Amino acid sequence: MNSKKGVIAILTGGGDVPGLNPAIRAVTIAARREGYEVIGIRRGWGGLVDMIPDAQADNGEHYQVLTNEVVNRAGRTGGTFLHSSRTRPSHVKKSGVPAHLKDRYGADVNDLTPHILENLAFLGVDHLIPIGGDDTLSYGVRLHQEGVKVVAIPKTMDNDVPGTDYCIGFSTCVTRTIEMTNRLRTSAGSHERFLVMEVFGRYAGFTALLPTMAGAANRCVIPEHKFDMEQLTQLMVEDRNRNPSKYAVLLVSEGAMFTGGERVLADEAVDAYGHAKLGGIGDVVSSHLKDLSAKYNGGRKIDCINQKLGYLVRGGDPDAIDSIVPMAYGNLALDLIMKGIHGRLVVLKHGRYDNVPLDVVTATKKVVNVKEHYSTERLRPRYDSFEMKPLFLVTSEG
């Protein structure tokens, strides 16, 4: 797989978001124009786990050569045509070890990194561009430490990758959340109910905070602050009764917790990165809101419309920002490669494109700065001034 300047491999890991295909397209078009060959690893790190480093093996399901025709076809669409997975090659359970590796790896948990390095060498990969969140990119840090030339692109609709003010997928998520809220508020108003919507956000509440700031909801509860259910109910009843249409809207991050409660799990099983699947806090909050509402509403309970937005906000085509930023990120990644720079994460900081050391993704966590951006008294966003603030207000420094 020799080419004029070398081989660049791209992969997408973790959850899908709109904007992945535009990023793949940007890298491919620019790299091929400069004389590189570009290949796409399928199913994130999973493609490199399942691949057999043998010229006689059929690895067609694990990677593909990327051409202008292929990426142009997908470049304006959502999701990732390379597919994705939550594979963690450094922590593969015995049951997940491919058949051709079972004689080499028989422990309960196995580090397949030597196999990954073999496959990268087999493909002739000179540079690797993983696109993902902090979990996916944390293994990119591991490969960088092993000597692989890695330049990474941040993606997550939670916008929680450290080191950058913006991650691919966040704008579309916020846009979809506002759209869905505005659709459902008509039913809430018709029936004079609370509208409770659960959104993604395991540790960071940006996807609930920003739509609320934009006017989509009256209140929001986020993972960074344990809220009091009585306080929330009183505020929601007051919001509803002040509204001529007699409804109020609440956004609930999936990782939110009320005082005395814990994170609500949709499934006890954990993924490759040790995360249990969250989901259901919206149901719990809705039930408590209804039961407690009579206390603040003259003895009359208020019903809830309870909707989990889930994958509705991560599906479909990217919005304008998630079409433009991925294009810029892809070109930034290639610029670094052409300068011989690696071990970097391309980022947006303070409204300008830049790059930072890749290991920032494992060095810290990016969450809502409660003191600066969230009112624990009002359970909604706070903002004293917008002067000189970044586009989405939240920054990599919190």
Token code pair at residue 146: 């092993």
32 touches 38 (CB < 8 A): yes
Of 264, 211, 255, 263, nearest to 380 by C-alpha is: 211
C-alpha 89/C-alpha 272 separation (Å) is 9
Q: Can you say whether the dihedral through the CA atoms of 305, 311, 314, 317 is positive or negative?
A: negative
Which one is catalytic: 16, 50, 134, 158? 158
158 annotated active-site: yes
* 3-state helix/strand/coil string of the chain: CCCCCCEEEEEECCCCCCCHHHHHHHHHHHHHHCCCEEEEECCCHHHHHHCCCCCCCCCCCCEEECCHHHHHHHCCCCCCCCCCCCCCCCCEEHHHCCHHHCCCCCCCEECCHHHHHHHHHHHCCCEEEEEECHHHHHHHHHHHHCCCCEEEEEECCCCCCCCCCCCECHHHHHHHHHHHHHHHHHHHHHHCCEEEEEECCCCCCHHHHHHHHCCCCCEEECCCCCECHHHHHHHHHHHHHHCCCCCEEEEEECCCCECCCCCCEEEEEECCCCCEEECCHHHHHHHHHHHHHHHHCCCCCCCEEEEECHHHHCCCCCCCHHHHHHHHHHHHHHHHHHCCCCCEEEEEECCEEEEEECCHHHHCCCCCCHHHHEECCCCEECCCCCCCCCCCCCCCCC
13 touches 140 (CB < 8 A): no
Of 23, 329, 365, nearest to 160 by C-alpha is: 365
The residues near 246 (Cβ < 8 Å, ≥ 6 apart) are 189, 192, 240
Amino acid identity of 157? M
Catalytic positions, written as ranges: 158
